[in-house]
Structure 1
Amino acid sequence: MEAVLIVTISGPDRAGLVEQLAAQVTAHGGNWEHSRMTHLADRFVGLLQITVPGKQQQDLESAIYAIPDLEVTISQAKSSAQLPKEIIFELELIGSDHPGIVRDIFSSLAQAGANVESLRTQTSNAAESGGLIFKANARLSCSYSMNLDSLRTKLEAIAQDILVDFVLK
């Protein structure tokens, strides 16, 4: 039986780190299925979903933990099968950055019953004001019974309060 592992990594950015991880996965008969990796501040961070034959799981985990200068967390998932999705939609948002902006937006989405499937945020310098511009792209899911017009109305209200523009599609 195969084990499904969710691996989080964080370490100083350096060439060859992804190759080291991939080599260990391959050496232990595993399959690298999904991942998200990025450079944040001076760190390289990532999330991986790996399947590995059950008899190789412990050896693979030990090999990953042994990679130098890498903080690792490994959790076992129940299955690699994707749950059936309901309604999937995209949210694009831009506005002036301020503390609490993510909380303000995503608490409204959670209260409406929307689930975050993926989220990417970034800030950049605003040329005219000298402040920061906040941008977010999110992939969201919700049940078929959710009223998207109601969700849009909630987002419009919060967008006015925190001065952001959004597109929900």
Structure 2
Amino acid sequence: MNTCVVMTVLAPDRTGIVQTLSQTVADHSGNWLESRMARMAGHFAGILRVECPEANAAALIAALEALEGMSIQTRQEDSDPDETRHLLKLDVVGNDRPGIVRALSGAIAATGANLEELQTTLESAPMAGHPIFHAKGIASLPEGLAPGALTEAIEDLGPDLAVTVEE
């Protein structure tokens, strides 16, 4: 029987981090299922989900946590993810302001939806050059919530937000 290990990785950015992680997973008969990785402020930041035989999980976790120069936190999950969720893609663009992520996440949570993924960036506004907030993500809806309710909750945050919700 297999089990999943979810981990976060933070380390000063350098060549070979992903190779070291993937080799450690392979050494324990693991399979790299999914990941999100980025370079932020000179650091490598990543979240990963790997699968391995249940008998190898403790050794894999110990080996990962022992890697030098990396801060790695792990969680073992025995259950399969719920694949029956109703997922929507979100795209939100508007003027940047302090607290915009708090307001956006609060509006989504108030509907009962759950943020599955969120990526935010600041972009330069065409022609004006001032910062524009851009969020892309995926939200799962609770049973009975219409996609329009999620759109309306986000649009209620201000007239400057352009919101696109797609199934």
Q: Confirm or deny a common fold (TM above 0.5).
A: yes
What code does the residue aligned with 2:117 have? S
What's the counterpart of residue 18 of structure 2?
Answer: 18
Aligned position for 2:86: 87
What amino acid is aligned across from residue 138 of structure 2 in structure 1? Answer: R
Structure 2 residues without counterparts, runs of 5 or longer: none
Aligned pairs for 1:1-169 (under 5 A) are 1-79=1-79, 81-126=80-125, 128-160=127-159, 163-169=160-166
Q: Percent of aligned positions with the same letter in both sequences?
A: 30
Q: Give the drift of 1:87.
A: 2.3
Deviation at 1:16, TM superposition (A): 0.9
Q: In the TM superposition, what whole-angstrom CA distance separates every residue of 1:38-95 from its partner, at most 9, and x where no partner exists? A: 111111111111112222222212221222210010111132x230333221110111
AA aligned opposite 2:26:
T
Distance in 1 (alpha carbons) for counterparts of 2:114 and 2:84: 11
Tell me by how many angstroms 1:130 deviates: 4.3
Structure 1: how far apart are the matches of 2:158 and 2:86? 22
Secondary structure of 1:93 counterpart = strand
Report how far residue 97 of structure 1 moved: 1.4
Deviation at 1:36, TM superposition (A): 0.8
Q: Give the aligned residue type for 1:148.
A: P
Question: Which string of whole-angstrom CA distances, capped at 9 and with x for unpartnered residues, describes residues 5-51 of structure 1?
Answer: 11110001111110100001101111111111111111111111111
In structure 2, distance between residues paired with 1:127 and 1:84: 39
Gaps of 5+ in 1: none
Q: Give me the CA root mean square deviation.
A: 1.7
Describe the shift of the 1:21–1:53 C-alpha distance in structure 2 as closer, same or farther (beyond 3 A).
same
Partner Cα separation in structure 2 for residue 22 and residue 76 of structure 1: 17
* Deviation of the 1:141 alpha carbon: 1.2
Q: CA deviation at 1:101?
A: 0.4
* One-letter amino acid matched to 1:150: A
Size of the aligned set, in residue pairs, is 166
State the distance in 2 between where 1:112 and 1:145 align. 11
SS in 2 for 1:150: helix
C-alpha distance in 1 between matches for 2:30 and 2:148 = 44
Q: Is the 8 A contact 1:32 1:49 kept in 2?
A: yes
TM score, norm. by length of structure 2: 0.90
